[in-house]
Structure 1
Amino acid sequence: MIIYAVIVLAIAALGGLYLAGHVLRDKLAPWAVSLLHAGLGALGLILLIAALLQGGAPQTVLIGFVILLVAALGGFFLASFHLRKKLPPQVAVVAHAGVGVVGFLIVLSQVV
């Protein structure tokens, strides 16, 4: 289950790079990609929840999951700007990405 979460989260991260590229160039990101990024991120978290509930997942997966939850909260903050058709602070975009990468790498470390 964890490997599937990693795959889904990796695809979400690619979408996030695309979105961040738009915002860092002072452009609004496309809604479709934003929704795909959010949906894949949510699916990745659900898969991690399933893995954690099955038992046997290392403690590091739980740590990575919690960090990814923090990144998700940052994503809601960024989406609030998108809904208002305003650019979010670039520092918030970088922070969201950084927290997400840390969480992803922690979960990934349990797969490789």
Structure 2
Amino acid sequence: MISAAIILFAIAAAGGLILAAHVLRGHFAPWALSVLHALLGAAGLILLILALAQGAASQPVLVGFILLLIAALGGFFLVSFHARKRLPPKAVVIVHALVAVIGFLTLLSVVL
């Protein structure tokens, strides 16, 4: 289950790079890609919740989950800008990405 979550987060991260590139260049991110990015991230979080609920997950999985949950909350904040037709602050995009990458790498350390 953790490996499946890592795969989902990796695919979401690829989309996230495209989204971030748009925003950092001063353009709106494509809405469809934003939704796909969010759905993949949410599916990964659900898989982590299931792994944690089964008690089979280690402490790094919990730490990775918490970091990715924080990143998801940052993602909701970013979506609020898009919904108001405003570009989000570039610093928020960068922090969102960094927290997500650290959470992802924490999870990846469990399977490597």
Shorter-chain TM-score category?
Answer: over 0.9
**So what's the TM-score if we normalise by structure 2?**
0.98
Counterpart residue number, 2:87: 87
The alignment status of 1:35 with 2:43, answered yes or no, reads: no
Give the fraction of aligned pairs with identical amino acids, expressed as a percent.
65
RMSD (CA atoms): 0.5
Provide runs of 4+ in structure 1 moved above 2 Å: none
CA distance in 2, matches of 1:21, 1:75: 15
Following TM superposition, by how much is the alpha carbon of 1:54 offset from its aligned partner in structure 2, in angstroms?
Answer: 1.4
**Gaps (5+ residues) in structure 1?**
none
**Gaps (5+ residues) in structure 2?**
none
Following TM superposition, by how much is the alpha carbon of 1:85 offset from its aligned partner in structure 2, in angstroms?
Answer: 1.1
Counterpart residue number, 2:111: 111
Give SS of 1:80's match: helix
Q: Deviations over 1:21-74 (max 9, x none)?
A: 000000000100000000000000000011111112111100110011100010
CA distance in 1, matches of 2:91, 2:73: 15
User: Which amino acid in 1 is paired with 2:50?
Assistant: A
**So what's the TM-score if we normalise by structure 1?**
0.98
Counterpart residue number, 2:46: 46
CA distance in 2, matches of 1:33, 1:57: 30
